[in-house]
Structures are given as C-alpha cells and as structure tokens.
Amino acid sequence: MIILGIDPGTATTGFAVLEKEGKRVTILEYGVITTRAGVDFSDRLVQIGTDLSEIIDTYRPTICGMERLFFLRNVTNGIDVAQAKGVMIYILATRGIPLIEYTPLQVKAGIAGNGFAKKPQVQKALKMLLGLTEIPKPDDAADALAIAYLTSLKIK
C-alpha cells in the first residue's frame, strides 16, 4: 500500500510518500512543494495542484493523511491555507484517494506518545521509528512524514 502524507501550506506544503508491506514501512520520497512569494495567489494554488498531481501520478497512493486546520493565529494566512487545502482535497477526491485528517495533537500523540510534545521530540521519535540516520528536514516535510507514518499505523 502506498501512503501519502501532506502538511498543507501556501508557501511550503510538506509531502511524504511511504510504502507499507505487512508491518514494514519504507520511505519512497519526502520533501516540500514550494511556491514563490509575490506571485498572484491563484498561481500559487495552481502550482500546489500541479505539483501534488505529479506526486500522485508518480506514486499512485491508495490513501492520504493530512493535517487538519484547527487553530489559526493569523486569519488571513488561515484562509489562504484553507483554500490551498481545498485544492488538495479536490485533487485527492477526483482520483478516488481516501483522506484521513489529523489534528497536530493527534500526530504528536501518535508519533511521540504525547500530544503536547515539542517538534524536536516528534522528529526524534520519527527518526527512530523509521530507522533514519538523521532528523528529517525541512520541518514541513518532517511533519508530512509523521502524518504519513501515523496513517500507516491506522490501516491494515
């Protein structure tokens, strides 16, 4: 089974693709989709959609985990991220890819065992769980990796 994890954003969207065979989980790819500041917002949405479509076409995921927006400090930024997330959900839905959403608290609890864990604790736990030699970077990609790994635990 191929699992896609997404940490939605507008400037950077983290993504991770894992393969699960039995209890074994292998990283196929992880990274970020980046958009340029200063360009029309609709062009940024197109870039996110195009890049996500390429990832999906390459790996053909059977399920996707995504971070749920639940708290917004900056309303304008929150609305922008929600719009980007809408593009992502549309792309997943048109390809028939089921989506599981998680709050950051759920991701932290699922990976580090503590919903209030700090980012370095989660990344350290993720490194151990996936047998990595280094902490995954950048942070958005690491978050997507955590979301994908948590999704791998939720499916049979």
Question: In this predicted structure, which of 49-58, 67-76, 100-109 has the lowest mean pLDDT?
Answer: 67-76
Task: Give tens-digit pLDDT for 92-120.
Answer: 999 999 999 999 999 999 999 989 999 99
> Is the pTM of the predicted complex or chain greater than 0.75?
yes
User: What's the CATH code of the domain at 23?
Assistant: 3.30.420.10
- Give the Cα separation of 86 and 107 in Å (integer): 21
pLDDT at position 48 is 98
Question: Is pLDDT above 90 for 71?
Answer: no
- For 137-143, what is the mean pLDDT? 95
Instruction: Supply the residues annotated as catalytic.
Output: 7, 67, 140
Range of the domain at 46: 2-154
Categorize the per-residue pLDDT at 77 as very low, low, confident or very high, splitting at 50, 70 and 90: confident
> Among 105, 97, 99, 101, which Cα is nearest to 122's?
105
Average pLDDT estimate for 49-73 = 92
At 16, is the pLDDT very low, low, confident or very high (cuts 50, 70, 90)? very high
Whether the per-residue pLDDT at 127 is higher than 70: the answer is yes
For the chain, how many structural domains are there in total? Answer: 1
Q: Are 115 and 106 in contact (CB under 8 A)?
A: yes
